[in-house]
Amino acid sequence: MIKKNLLLFILFSVSFVGFTQTKNTSFSKEALLKAAKEIINSTGTCALITQDKNGISRVRTMDPFPPEENLTIWFGTNPTSRKVAQIKQNKLVTIYYRDKDDSGYVTIHGKAILVDNQQEKNKHWKENWKSFYPNKKESYLLIKVIPIWLEIVSPPRNIVGSDKTWEPPTAYF
């Protein structure tokens, strides 16, 4: 009976070794950014997180444009939306992308800038948004998020957090 219990204990313990996190510090910034772009480009939407006047996080699903090379992210919105008022009070925002297979994520912390330039609005436009913004000149505003740093977790890419704190790998801009 002791041998059977010992054998079961060993089998049980060994089966979870592959699921433990180990800190991987061997990733370069370029490798983290490459993996982040893969995740970002594979998803259709993301979450944009702002802070309201009481410091409460406000989260909404957004339909972003593909990221620029430096991971600057653009969004379209209504200039009278709550998110615009919140960004005017606090320009620091967070963007969260979940990997399409639910295996990992990218979190970008950055500075939001409200852009009301017609040339940029024409450049950052999706035809299927016509019903949301009937007057593109007045009812459409851009949010440009310039990244400060990002965190990424992607077990399929062997990018995982610290085995002790679970803190994910970080890239600074």
User: Is 14 part of a structural domain of the chain?
Assistant: no
User: Is 10 part of a structural domain of the chain?
Assistant: no
Q: Which amino acid is at 89?
A: Q
User: Is 8 part of a structural domain of the chain?
Assistant: no
Q: What is the pLDDT of residue 25?
A: 54
User: Is 13 part of a structural domain of the chain?
Assistant: no
Q: What is the pLDDT of residue 27?
A: 86
Spatial neighbors of 66 by CB under 8 A, at least 6 apart, are 40, 41
**Domains of the chain: total:** 1
Rg, Å, the chain Cα set:
21
The domain that holds 114 is classified in CATH as 2.30.110.10
> Are the C-beta atoms of 71 and 36 separated by less than 8 Å?
yes
Stretches where the chain sits below pLDDT 50 are 1-24
User: Is 77 part of a structural domain of the chain?
Assistant: yes
Give the span between the Cα atoms of 105 and 94, in whole angstroms. 13
User: Is 88 part of a structural domain of the chain?
Assistant: yes
Full residue range of the structural domain in which residue 51 is found: 20-172
Q: Which pTM was predicted?
A: 0.84
Give the span between the Cα atoms of 99 and 145, in whole angstroms. 20
Q: What is the pLDDT of residue 13?
A: 37
User: Is 81 part of a structural domain of the chain?
Assistant: yes
Q: What is the pLDDT of residue 6?
A: 36
User: Is 100 part of a structural domain of the chain?
Assistant: yes
